[in-house]
């Protein structure tokens, strides 16, 4: 395993005050991007990257991480409902390995089951039109999965 692939439980020790986490929801056509605040309390949807070549995608992501003073990346791991790993999870693991090779930023995988469903439900409750939901769903899913990781980190700090 790459030195930059870390467990979510390793992130608190790596956090410098003010450093932010970037959350990624990896889709086949897009990558949803979310960002935490510096105190690792709140995740906010940021933007969506239309996927192209891996090198171009990685360059955009790492530039964003540098601009935002990110100290690590949390990448959604799309496990099956029974916890098993299918082709999408294998693809996410490969993306994480390849991204970790290009940067010193630690990359942690986070179970993202139901993140898109929950994000869609929240957008429907907010009465967003179908067109607006389609534009924002991937970034919202990234924020949802990042918020789950932040909540887990908060319980680690408080225990």
Question: What are 17-66's pLDDT values in tens digits?
Answer: 899 999 999 988 999 999 999 999 999 999 999 999 999 999 999 999 99
Q: How far apart are CA 78 and CA 156, in angstroms?
A: 23
Nearest to 96 by CA among 25, 20, 151, 17: 25
pLDDT, tens digit, 9 for 90 and up, residues 59-115: 999 999 999 999 999 999 987 667 777 888 899 999 999 999 999 999 999 987 655
pTM, full prediction: 0.85
Q: How far apart are CA 63 and CA 20, in angstroms?
A: 14
In this structure, which topology does domain 5-158 adopt according to CATH?
A: Nucleotidyltransferase; domain 5 (3.30.420)
Nearest to 142 by CA among 107, 108, 116, 113: 116
How many separate helices (H) and strands (E) can be counted in the chain?
Answer: 5, 6
Say if CB 79 and CB 115 are below 8 A apart. Answer: no
Say if CB 83 and CB 50 are below 8 A apart. Answer: no
pLDDT, tens digit, 9 for 90 and up, residues 108-143: 999 876 555 555 666 566 665 666 555 566 788 899
């Amino acid at each position: 395993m790459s030195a930059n692939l870390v467990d979510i439980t390793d992130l608190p020790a790596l956090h410098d005050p003010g450093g932010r986490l970037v959350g990624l929801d990896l889709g086949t056509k897009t990558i949803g991007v979310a960002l935490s605040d510096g105190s690792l309390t709140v995740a906010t949807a940021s933007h969506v990257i239309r996927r192209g070549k891996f090198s171009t995608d990685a360059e955009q992501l790492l530039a964003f991480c540098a601009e935002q003073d990110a100290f690590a990346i949390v990448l959604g791991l799309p496990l099956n409902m029974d916890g098993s790993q299918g082709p999408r999870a294998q693809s996410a693991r490969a993306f994480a390995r390849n991204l970790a090779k290009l940067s010193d930023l630690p990359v942690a995988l986070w179970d993202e089951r139901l993140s898109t469903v929950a994000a869609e439900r929240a957008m429907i409750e907010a009465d967003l039109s179908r067109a607006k939901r389609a534009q924002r769903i991937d970034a919202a899913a990234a924020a949802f999965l990042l918020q789950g990781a932040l909540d887990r980190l908060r319980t680690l700090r408080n225990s």
